[in-house]
Amino acid sequence: MTPLIEVVDLVKTYTDGTQALRGASFVIQEGEFVAIMGPSGSGKSTLLHILGFLDPQTSGIYKFTGKLFQDFTPSELARVRNEELGFVFQQFNLMPRQTVLENIYMPLYYSSVPKKEWRTRAEKVVAQVGLSHRIDHEAYTLSGGEKQRVAIARALINKPKLIFADEPTGNLDTKSGTDVMELLKALHTLGHTIILITHDQKIANHARRMLFIQDGRLQSDTEI
């Protein structure tokens, strides 16, 4: 089976000379729930930016669905980013004055999904994250935990192959953080592939596999 993600000797050196990744290699299969764990500055976000097609590596191989990163044309990259990847960030990145529904619609503006399907799709994902009763509320009125669940619904709307969550509980209290992790676990059970980025061992323990990264190198790869 072709792995969803394959990286070999991935290196990222920033223009100022910082060696954020010094040769990481691993494979992630469709359907996995993987935590990329490591201390602050270890290269986690750098890795996420490469895997999420947001920034190219300096050297090494990155294959997504068997295809080399450099073989994707700019329009293919844009399509993959929009339709095959979902992103959830620590800061939620919602538009505060827009409603939950309008926030969830955002990725659809750049997709090929016909407009008449938008409402049905949005209602499905908003129900999945347990926020049907908030669908017409403006985002700024929601609690932190609710905002993150909206961000997860928005990440799901294009039925992505893979969801990236970068410190998704970083701005949440313990209870809301646990709820968000339970939601990610439920999505994994439904068949979603999830890559979770965290510096927190307790959060990483919700995943099924942990890649531990330090100083830009993979230190261990363990099943949880």
- Give the footprint of ligand ADP on this chain (CB under 6 A): 14, 16, 18, 20, 38, 40-46
How far does CA 187 lie from the centroid of its chain?
13
Contacted by 18, from ligand ADP, Mg ion, none: CB < 5 to 8 Å by type: ligand ADP
Closer Cβ to Mg ion, 146 or 166, answer by number? 166
Q: Residue 136 CB, nearest distance to Mg ion (Å)? A: 34
Q: Residue 198 CB, nearest distance to ligand ADP (Å)? A: 10
Closer Cβ to ligand ADP, 40 or 70, answer by number? 40
Give, in order, the Cα–Cα distances in Å from 134 to each of 43, 106, 169, 184, 211. Answer: 36, 17, 21, 20, 36
What is the C-alpha separation between 149 and 143, in angstroms, rounded? 10
What is the C-alpha separation between 88 and 70, in angstroms, rounded? 25
Q: Which of 28, 33, 45, 85 binds Mg ion (CB under 5 A)?
A: 45
Phi, psi of 7 (to 5 degrees): -125, 140
Phi, psi of 100 (to 5 degrees): -55, -50
Say how many residues make up the chain: 224
DSSP symbol at 138: B
Q: Which of residues 78-97 bind Mg ion (CB under 5 A)?
A: none
What is the C-alpha separation between 185 and 208, in angstroms, rounded? 9
Contacted by 109, from ligand ADP, Mg ion, none: CB < 5 to 8 Å by type: none
Q: Residue 14 CB, nearest distance to ligand ADP (Å)? A: 3
Q: Residue 203 CB, nearest distance to ligand ADP (Å)? A: 14
CB 31 within 8 A of CB 193: yes
CB atoms inside a 10 Å sphere around CB 14: 11
Contacted by 170, from Mg ion, ligand ADP, none: CB < 5 to 8 Å by type: none
Closer Cβ to Mg ion, 108 or 207, answer by number? 207
Closer Cβ to ligand ADP, 20 or 85, answer by number? 20
Closer Cβ to ligand ADP, 21 or 142, answer by number? 21
Q: Residue 202 CB, nearest distance to ligand ADP (Å)? A: 17
